[in-house]
Amino acid sequence: MFTERLTRLKRLPFPLGTPDWPGQVPRPPERGDLGVNYGTDWARRYPVRLARAAYTEAVTRPLVAAVAKPAVEGLDRFENVEGPVIFAANHSSHLDTPVITSVLPDRWRHKLVTLAAADYFFDTKLKAVYFSFALNAIPIERLKVSRRASDKAEELLAEGWNLLIFPEGGRSPDGWGQRHNAGAAWLSVRSGRPLVPLHVQGTGRLWPRGARRIYTGHTAVTFGRPVWPDAPRQQVAARLETAIAELADETSTDWWSARRRAAAGSTPSLLGPTAASWRRSWALGPSPKDRARRRSPAGEKVWPPKP
């Protein structure tokens, strides 16, 4: 009954119902070849793979080393796993993907596909071509499971490609983590391939969401032990989220302390404190932007005073 009434209301003329497209304004042409419909098979052909490998070694890795200076831990935790795997990471910056790509060993890096938001990375032809080439990205829907995208991801896993996915669905708006979507766990259970959790620290301070410039500094990438899909999807998703939180704790403190808190069930949440935005920001500590503001035009620190 409610649905029928809602449908009738939508049919009423504006402003009582849904507005129509203005007759004097031409509609933009629809692009059926962009977004989730963009075809990326060309990016995995052998000549393109060779070009991408050269681009990664000559451009991406040197730039990441100069800007983010990543320290890596935990590569030995999944080195004995036979691929393919699904890498699942927290997401706070556009730097996350190039940083992860640059630190992976060759056998994983050169067979890696990145699942990227169709509405952002594939909304124009230029962006679609670049990210398909540079990141070997395929378009996915952020807020819903697309049959076409999920089938494509499963097909690539069957062909031996590793996947990189961000279960949060998008970059953090304030530096703290977000609740995970179930897409990564769903794909793992459906394909039978393990999830390799990893945590990236520092990228959100170097290039936060909405920033107009990139700062330089240090980052850390910590890999965890594989999470196997030997349970229902909801349990696999919960185990993945817990694993990434434990890796964040390990990065911030040390392995032994983090393991003790994990055993006691007291690992700090990645969601941050339930408080006002200024309190959440303060809890993250100073950013490179904050430190830059404390410098005089000559480059000397004026606050805090030197010890």
pLDDT higher at 142 or 277 = 142
| Whole-number pLDDT of residue 11 | 60
> What whole-number distance in Å separates Cα of residue 272 and Cα of residue 252?
14
Q: Which tokens belong to 251?
A: 């990065």
| Residue 273, burial from CB neighbour count under 10 angstroms (0-12, 13-18, 19+) | exposed
Per DSSP, helices labelled H in 19-143 are 46-55, 61-67, 96-103, 106-109, 118-121, 125-135
Q: Which tokens belong to 15?
A: 């402003």
Cβ–Cβ under 8 Å, residues 85 and 162: yes
Cβ–Cβ under 8 Å, residues 152 and 37: no
CATH number of the domain where residue 266 is located: 3.40.1130.10
Which range, of 17-21, 260-264, 291-295, averages the lowest pLDDT?
Answer: 291-295
Amino acid letter, 206: L
Q: b/e string for 75-94 if b means 16 or more Cβ within 10 A? A: eebbeeeebbbbbbbbbbbb
| Whole-number pLDDT of residue 294 | 47
> What whole-number distance in Å separates Cα of residue 37 and Cα of residue 148?
8
Domain membership of residue 285 (yes or no) is no
The pLDDT tens digits of the residues spanning 86-131 come to 999 999 889 999 999 999 999 999 999 999 988 889 989 999 999 9
The pLDDT tens digits of the residues spanning 22-54 come to 666 765 655 567 888 888 999 999 999 999 999
Q: Quick check: helix, strand or coil at residue 195? A: strand
Which range, of 46-55, 67-76, 214-223, 291-300, averages the lowest pLDDT?
Answer: 291-300
Q: Quick check: helix, strand or coil at residue 86? A: strand
Domain that holds residue 49: 35-274
| Whole-number pLDDT of residue 297 | 47
> What whole-number distance in Å separates Cα of residue 307 and Cα of residue 304?
9
Indicate the average pLDDT of the chain: 82
> What whole-number distance in Å separates Cα of residue 44 and Cα of residue 161?
10
Q: In this structure, are strands 162-165 and 219-223 parallel, antiparallel, or unpaired?
A: unpaired
The pLDDT tens digits of the residues spanning 187-244 come to 999 999 999 999 999 998 898 887 788 999 999 999 999 999 998 989 999 999 999 9
Domain membership of residue 237 (yes or no) is yes
Of 103, 83, 293, 115, nearest to 187 by C-alpha is 115
Quote the radius of gyration of the chain (alpha carbons, Å).
22
| Whole-number pLDDT of residue 210 | 79
What is the pTM assigned to this prediction?
A: 0.80
Domain membership of residue 289 (yes or no) is no
| Whole-number pLDDT of residue 304 | 41
pLDDT category of residue 301 using cuts at 50, 70 and 90 = very low
| Whole-number pLDDT of residue 17 | 61
Cβ–Cβ under 8 Å, residues 11 and 17: yes
Domain membership of residue 48 (yes or no) is yes
Report how many domains make up the chain: 1
Domain membership of residue 226 (yes or no) is yes
What order do you get walking across the sheet with 219-223 strand by strand? 70-73, 219-223, 195-201, 86-89, 162-165, 112-117, 137-140
pLDDT higher at 216 or 273 = 216
- Across 14-18, 118-122, 146-150, 225-229, which has the greatest mean pLDDT? 225-229
pLDDT higher at 287 or 196 = 196
Domain membership of residue 242 (yes or no) is yes
Q: What is the DSSP letter of 202?
A: S
Domain membership of residue 84 (yes or no) is yes
* pLDDT reading at 276 higher than 90: no
Residue range 283-301: average pLDDT? 51
Domain membership of residue 28 (yes or no) is no
